[in-house]
Amino acid sequence: MSSLSIKVNIGSRVYPLTIDPQEEEFIRKAADRINANIKELQENYAVRDMQDLLAMTTLQYATEVIKGAKSVEYSQLLEDLKSLSDAIK
């Protein structure tokens, strides 16, 4: 499989990455989202330290991932309960 070398800017720092070409769009969108969130935090709060901004951004996205996982688990539980209910009938 081929690899692609790109540079991604996150929080005013450039990170060189070697990735699979099919991942480039996702990585660039993720970096854009991170930078947009950092900008929003800078505009809405008195936080200026980049490490604090990155930590808060990480916390927000980790929370979203956990909520999404719980939602998937809940949906699977509902499907399982429906299957059991249908089997009992």
pLDDT digits (tens, 9 = 90+) for 37-84: 999 999 999 988 999 999 999 999 999 988 887 887 777 777 877 787
Amino acid at position 4, single letter: L
Q: In terms of residue numbers, what domain contains 11?
A: 4-88
SS3 state of residue 77: helix
C-alpha 38/C-alpha 57 separation (Å) is: 7
| pLDDT band at residue 29 under the 50/70/90 scheme | very high
Number of domains comprising the chain: 1
SS3 state of residue 7: strand
